[in-house]
Amino acid sequence: MSNHREMKRVLVTGACGQIGSELTLALREKYGGENVIATDLRPPQKPGLCDSGPFEFLDVTQREQLEAIVRKYNVDTIYHLAAILSATGEQNPPLAWDVNINGLYNVLEVAQEHQMVRVFVPSSIAVFGPETPRDPAPQEAVLRPTTMYGLTKVTGELLGNYYVRRFGLDVRGVRYPGIISSETLPGGGTTDYAVEIFYAAIQHKRYTCFVREDTVLPMMYMPDCIRATLMLMEADFARLKHHTDFNLAGLSFSAGELAAEIKKHIPDFVCEYQPDFRQQIADSWPRTVDDSAAREEWGWSPQYDLPTMVADMLEKLSRKLAS
């Protein structure tokens, strides 16, 4: 199995997104700027991504574009982050299918053909559906999602595991919870309220939340998300019983609890609730997840809880919005 070889030349797809924009910089710290090639459909919003290493335009649905970049830079590892998220996916299901399924298929085929060392393919809590136990969602669970996004993520997990078994390609992935971060806005998911609320609290002291006050979902702060990703990609392959479908827990809270925690720092902050179509998506996902497999197989443990995450977000975002 390829896991004994070292990762030297890393390609990141969807590098301008919420996770990619921070993960790319963390990977450049680790492997050197020139060795981490950032790619996306859209240009980087921030100079950091272009200044610290190569950037190339890449549409993952176009296999020949991917192939050309892999050859040009002699890529041996891919972090495949390009995707259409849950809310956008419900508004445009064919696009979600094309990017999330055909894009992933291209990545796996090119990775296999070029005998890559490793591929990271994130999954999501969106693989679960109303029939899965919600508190917590077990590692081995019924996977019958009701969104196109969730359906593509289940297929992605199965496809990744197929390449591991059938071709010996080292594919790894976690079911990320909703990610909270201050650098780049989220890209059209159901958990976006947990980021938007911070911008609104600092800038307007008011937020209208698109899910009910009592909606509880699994979430994770970006530093934990980056740490988990790097930990899994560096884990000993021999210890892994799972590959593409690790449950991953950070913290779980209701929208109301998040608003109350923010109010401790901004006492005149007011949050109102006007649920829209995303409420139904949120209601189909679990409240917490059991991540004991990640803990046992590669030593996962999160560092942030609700108070420490909120304090750090407010500090970082206030600084950013003031500059």
Residues 100-139, one symbol each (x = binds ligand NAD by CB under 6 A, - = not), give: ---x------------------x-x---------------
Say if strands 216-221 and 251-254 run parallel, antiparallel, or are unpaired: antiparallel
Q: Is the distance from CB of 55 to CB of 44 less than 8 angstroms? A: yes
Q: Which stretch binds ligand NAD (CB under 6 A): 12-20, 134-142, 201-209, 233-241?
A: 12-20
Among 41, 266, 270, 311, binds ligand NAD (CB under 6 A): 41
Q: Is the distance from CB of 46 to CB of 214 less than 8 angstroms? A: no
Q: Is the distance from CB of 285 to CB of 123 less than 8 angstroms? A: no
- Residue nearer to ligand NAD on the CB measure, 200 or 250: 250
Preceding peptide of 145 cis, ω within 30°: no
Total site size for ligand SER, rule CB under 6 A: 10
Question: Out of 73, 79, 149, 176, which one is annotated catalytic?
Answer: 149
The answer to whether 179 contacts ligand NAD (rule: CB under 6 A) is yes
Would you state the structure tokens that stand for residue 311, as one six-digit string?
A: 């304090």
Range list of β-strands (E), 202-293:
206-209, 216-221, 246-247, 251-254, 270-273
The answer to whether 14 contacts ligand NAD (rule: CB under 6 A) is yes
The answer to whether 85 contacts ligand SER (rule: CB under 6 A) is yes
The answer to whether 81 contacts ligand SER (rule: CB under 6 A) is no
Q: How far is the CB of 195 from ligand NAD (least distance, A)?
A: 9
Question: In the annotation, is 162 catalytic?
Answer: no
The answer to whether 289 contacts ligand SER (rule: CB under 6 A) is no
Among 7, 11, 12, 17, binds ligand NAD (CB under 6 A): 17
Distance CA 82, CA 70 (A): 16
| Residue showing tokens 């593509």 | 152
Burial class, 274, CB count within 10 angstroms (exposed 0-12 / middle 13-18 / buried 19+): exposed
Radius of gyration of the chain (CA): 19
**Which residues of this chain interact with ligand SER, rule CB under 6 A?**
85-86, 124-126, 149, 178, 189-191
**Which residues of this chain interact with ligand NAD, rule CB under 6 A?**
13-14, 16-20, 40-42, 58-61, 81-83, 85, 99, 103, 122, 124, 176, 178-179, 186-189, 191
